[in-house]
């Protein structure tokens, strides 16, 4: 009976809707994997988020989000981003969803230093600061070594030109660019919401923020060796860190190429 009520017009509408949705929006897929183990044998987990409309060789841009390099600054902001339900409820107009729809791929490494996170410590189990170990000649800690292998094996072969990375730290309220980048020339600050207030987040170099240069940061490593437009985001201590991150990523994705 139901079928009989369907006119040609209805069928046509259904067909148009079906072809439109399959053409415009594929399904967002979240794949998890392991890229190694920490010194204390904790799994180093990776997530790949992609729109299933695109084959691997059709991807045109990559966003890499890392969290927990310093265990004492870990906020769990990326937890929600690794849930498939988060992506399914996200409107297609949202910049992160739009990024996937435009053949982007997002990788998330939610706990770069799981032993440090467990102890709420800045350092690895061995007492090393991972954010000083990311030099090609160094990579002494297995957490940094496995991360570099992950990028070499998973991201570098994609031959994608547009690569953006954001390494999440806390809580200086700054966006730090890799040492050879000059995004701050055009964007001296970005505006994000903190509660009801608009906050200006300065875009700086590490040397502006700390008055010295630290070799071996993850952002410099990704910029120099793999051509990432690479940032450290010193988040705020805030109620809704995920929203801050979403706004931040929206702004970063708008940055003109440098
Ligand atoms: Zn830090």
Q: Which residue has the tokens 């995920």?
A: 242
Q: Which residue has the tokens 């069928």?
A: 11
Q: Look at residue 168 and give its three-state secondary structure.
A: strand
Alpha helices, DSSP H, located in 25-141: 84-89, 95-101, 114-119
Residue-number span of the structural domain to which 80 is assigned: 26-254
Distance of CA 15 from the midpoint of ligand 1 (Å): 52
For each of the chain's 258 residues, which pLDDT tens digit applies? Answer: 444 455 555 554 444 444 433 344 579 999 999 999 999 999 999 999 999 999 999 999 999 999 999 999 999 989 989 999 999 998 888 888 989 999 999 999 999 999 999 999 999 999 999 999 999 999 999 999 999 999 999 999 998 989 999 999 998 888 999 999 999 998 898 887 666 777 788 999 988 877 888 999 999 999 999 999 999 998 876 656 677 677 778 778 777 644
Residue 95 belongs to a domain: yes
Distance of CA 219 from the midpoint of ligand 1 (Å): 12
Residue 21 belongs to a domain: no
Residue 45 belongs to a domain: yes
CATH of residue 51: 3.40.630.10
Residue 90 belongs to a domain: yes
Residue 226 belongs to a domain: yes
In SS3 terms, 172-204 reads as CCEEEECCCCCHHHHCCEEEEEECCEEEEEEEE
| Residues 6 or more apart in contact with residue 222 via CB below 8 angstroms | 64, 151, 163, 165, 178, 228, 230
Residue 11 belongs to a domain: no
Distance of CA 54 from the midpoint of ligand 1 (Å): 35
Residue 3 belongs to a domain: no
Residue 12 belongs to a domain: no
Q: How many distinct structural domains can be found in the chain?
A: 1
Alpha helices, DSSP H, located in 60-102: 84-89, 95-101
**42: exposed, middle or buried (Cβ count in 10 Å: 0-12, 13-18, 19+):** middle
State the maximum Cα–Cα separation within the chain, in Å, rounded to a whole number.
76
Distance of CA 174 from the midpoint of ligand 1 (Å): 11
Q: Pull the structure tokens for residue 25.
A: 């929006």
Distance of CA 26 from the midpoint of ligand 1 (Å): 36
Q: Which residues surround ligand 1, an ion (CB under 5 A)?
A: 70, 73, 169
| Apex 82 CA angle, 226 and 175, nearest 5 | 50
Distance of CA 4 from the midpoint of ligand 1 (Å): 64
């Amino acid at each position: 009976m139901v079928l009989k009520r369907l006119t040609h017009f209805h069928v046509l509408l259904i067909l148009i809707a079906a072809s439109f949705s399959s053409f415009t929006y594929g399904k967002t897929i979240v794949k998890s994997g392991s890229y190694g183990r920490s010194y204390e044998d904790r799994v180093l987990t990776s997530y790949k988020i992609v729109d299933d409309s695109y084959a691997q060789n059709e991807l045109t841009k990559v966003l890499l989000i890392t969290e927990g390099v310093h265990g004492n600054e870990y906020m769990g902001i990326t937890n929600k981003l690794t849930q498939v339900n988060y992506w399914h409820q996200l409107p297609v107009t949202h910049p992160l969803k739009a990024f996937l729809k435009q053949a982007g791929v997002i990788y998330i490494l939610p706990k770069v230093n799981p032993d440090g996170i467990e102890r709420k410590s800045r350092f690895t189990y061995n007492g090393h600061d991972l954010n000083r170990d990311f030099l090609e000649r160094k990579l002494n800690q297995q957490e940094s070594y496995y991360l570099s292998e992950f990028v070499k094996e998973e991201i570098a072969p994609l031959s994608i030109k547009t690569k953006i990375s954001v390494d999440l730290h806390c809580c200086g309220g700054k966006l730090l660019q890799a040492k050879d980048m000059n995004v701050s020339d055009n964007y001296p600050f970005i505006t994000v919401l903190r509660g009801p207030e608009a906050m200006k987040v300065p875009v700086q170099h590490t040397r502006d923020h700390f008055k010295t240069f630290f070799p071996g940061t993850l952002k410099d490593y990704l910029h120099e060796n793999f051509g990432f437009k690479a940032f450290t985001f010193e988040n705020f201590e805030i109620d809704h860190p995920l929203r801050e991150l979403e706004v931040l990523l929206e702004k970063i994705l708008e940055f003109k190429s440098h």
